Structure 1
Amino acid sequence: MVMMDAEFFAFEDLTWQTVPPPVRHPVPAAYVPDLEVGDEVTIGVPRRYFIDGQVLLRPERRLVEFPGDGELHESVAVCAPIHYWTWRVSQDRNPVMQWWPADYAWVYRDALPPEGTSVESEEASSNVEASSWLERVRLDADSPPVLRPVTARDAGALTGRALRSRNAAGEWFWFVGASEPLDVGGDICVRVVPQPHWWLHQVGYYPELQGKVRSLPLHRLFAYA
């Protein structure tokens, strides 16, 4: 009788690939003194709407009169991502920016797990199943919504969308979807690129960036809604 080594039947534990990322909460910029140039900011027009994905262009803050109410506000310098990333590669550009009240600006941060709970178990218990749209109806538009992870498979269109994936060490990385799901060697994947790559290609072709295009399995990608 031939005894088979137990390792012959062993398989790699891939559960880390499907652990959802943490919930994201908006924190008022007025309470975030350590904002750095390049950080993403959501700005809002009071009680009307929000603009996600703005980028902090300068570290300092100024007292600036906001046309919306004619009052002085401590303000942060923000610009559209396309202006920020083109400025990063060409410092002689003059990016279009505006001073926006910190009272009407927010920075999204990952939720912290309850004390005594490991990040791993907290993330694993997150509910990423689609819920009723009625649960997202809000009473007002005074602050941006809490963002919850959803599997990319259930997120709808992925091209141009911010996506998140994690490696075996548990580190989270941000990408932008550059394709819809496609068959790559028999696996269902999505082409993704770093954020700078995506925005720079809105204004030109950068051959040196092509090596940064990656194909990630669909099941490893998450979006937020």
Structure 2
Amino acid sequence: MHDEKFTVRSPIPLVPSPAVSVDELRGERVIVGSPGSGWRYDLRADDKVFRGDQAFVPILTEADFYRAEDEGVEVFAPLVPIERVWIEQPGFPENKIIHDIGTVLDRLVRLETPPIRRPMPASEVAGLNGRRLAQSIPDGERRGLRAASEPYEDRGDICLRVCEEAAWYRWSRTGETPRTEKVEIHLLWVE
């Protein structure tokens, strides 16, 4: 049933990088938090602003980011000190081994930095509707997708309906149903 002519590979892990090392932040997917306290994901950054010699990053929820982009409006964005902002980028961590998900002991992290997010096969995750996805494609991966359905069977294949992330947020804001496409579940990964 599968007509792919390529080797399906897991997408590259998402590795947090300190925002202080990045010049252009607008639109970047970010993580905010404090070492020892915790981390907040699914946020977007705007360009840095300075108050004296201190740099801050305006932080928006993804819903507000896409609303501002679609409608050309300004939205409230709290200013977070740049030292508490991390950019979420596909990459490979230096000197760190990414273990397969096993027991809770295999998943322990350190609280000094946001943890590396290893994509999980969509077939192994329950409650997919609305989740952030990456798709394996012949020349790499396609990111910025959201699940618009739970898995279903179609002519012997297990599939999901997916849409672009901007369309997902537009749907919640305007009620405009997004254009979705069928993708076989073995090609999808939860980020």
Using the size of structure 2 for normalisation, the TM-score is 0.85
Of the three residues 18, 32, 43, the one matched with 2:32 is 43
Distance 1:87 1:47 in 2: 32
Give 3-state SS (helix, strand or coil) of 1:202's partner.
helix
What residue identity is the alignment partner of 1:53? D
Distance 2:162 2:91 in 1: 25
Distance 1:28 1:113 in 2: 13
For residue 102 of structure 1, report the CA deviation from its aligned partner: 1.1
What residue is the counterpart of 2:120 in the other structure?
A: 150
What residue identity is the alignment partner of 1:100? V
Shift of the 12–51 alpha-carbon distance from structure 1 to 2, 3 Å rule, reads: closer
What residue identity is the alignment partner of 1:83? D
Map 1:35-184 onto structure 2 (within 5 A): 35=25, 37-57=26-46, 59-63=47-51, 73-91=54-72, 93-112=73-92, 129-139=100-110, 141-184=111-154
Distance 1:174 1:184 in 2: 24
What residue identity is the alignment partner of 1:41? V
- Are 1:14 and 2:11 counterparts? no
CA-atom RMSD, angstroms?
A: 2.6
Shift of the 137–113 alpha-carbon distance from structure 1 to 2, 3 Å rule, reads: closer
Q: Is the CA contact 1:166–1:173 (under 8 Å) kept in the aligned structure 2?
A: no
Give 3-state SS (helix, strand or coil) of 1:147's partner.
coil
Unaligned runs of 5+ in 2: none
For residue 171 of structure 1, report the CA deviation from its aligned partner: 4.1
For residue 198 of structure 1, report the CA deviation from its aligned partner: 1.1
For residue 108 of structure 1, report the CA deviation from its aligned partner: 1.7
- The number of equivalent residue pairs is 188
> Could you list the runs of 4 or more consecutive aligned residues of structure 1 that deviate by over 4 angstroms after TM superposition?
126-129
Unaligned runs of 5+ in 1: 1-10, 65-71, 115-125
Give 1 or 2 for the bigger CA radius of gyration: 1
